[in-house]
Amino acid sequence: MDSKKRQKENLAAVSLPRQLSRPSWDEYFFQIAQQVATRSTCMRRQVGAVLVKDKRILSTGYNGAPRGIVHCIDAGCLREQMRVPSGERHELCRALHAEQNAIVQAALHGVKIEGSTLYCTHQPCSLCAKMIINAGIVEVYFNEGYPDELAAGFFAEAGIRLHRMGGT
């Protein structure tokens, strides 16, 4: 393509009608978390997590089996087979939670996540809450609730701000 033609196409692109509903930063990062969730290999729910600081994405994660370990969707999930209720007996599943994977990915690449904000499609469980607290994450945005009362108590005690997207 010659440069004149390219210039013309670029101009055409910028003169498109501007989207009226430009997302806020929180909506923007939350929508990215929703996109990340689509990579999940969990048979029960698809969760996505994004760690952000100063409007920059530091790390992402979705729920799925550790590297080199067969995924629940291929090997079958014990929790599913045993009909374990949601929020209970996580240790039976081979998968890591999205929040855990986001924290682990940061550690793997040596990215400091202290003072960061977590955008997660679902409310973190108590196990993730403990990791979030010690990872130095200070704020959590989520949408879907999760049946784990312990977690909310942990966050309150540790002074981590919890926000429900589209709500309080």
Q: Please answer whether residues 45 and 122 qualify as being in contact, where contact means their C-beta atoms are separated by less than 8 angstroms.
A: yes
How many other CB atoms are found less than 10 A from the CB of residue 61?
28
Least CB distance from residue 156 to Zn ion, whole Å?
17
Query: Catalytic residue at 99?
Result: yes
Among 37, 58, 77, 113, binds Zn ion (CB under 5 A): 77
Least CB distance from residue 130 to Zn ion, whole Å?
10
C-alpha distances (whole Å) from 102 to each of 9, 16, 19, 43, 110 are: 38, 36, 31, 19, 12
132 touches Zn ion by CB under 5 A: no
Least CB distance from residue 42 to Zn ion, whole Å?
6
122 touches Zn ion by CB under 5 A: no
Catalytic residue among 27, 80, 88, 99: 99
Q: Please answer whether residues 40 and 124 qualify as being in contact, where contact means their C-beta atoms are separated by less than 8 angstroms.
A: no
Specify the stretch interacting with Zn ion by CB under 5 A; choose among 6-14, 30-38, 92-100, 160-168.
Answer: 92-100
93 touches Zn ion by CB under 5 A: yes
72 touches Zn ion by CB under 5 A: yes
125 touches Zn ion by CB under 5 A: yes
How many other CB atoms are found less than 10 A from the CB of residue 26?
15
118 touches Zn ion by CB under 5 A: no
96 touches Zn ion by CB under 5 A: no
**Residues with Cβ < 8 Å from 115, sequence gap 6 or more?**
53, 136, 138
Cα(126)–Cα(108) distance, integer angstroms: 23
Cα(163)–Cα(26) distance, integer angstroms: 10
User: Could you list the active site residues?
Assistant: 99
Interface ranges with Zn ion (CB under 5 A) = 72, 77, 93, 95, 97, 125, 128
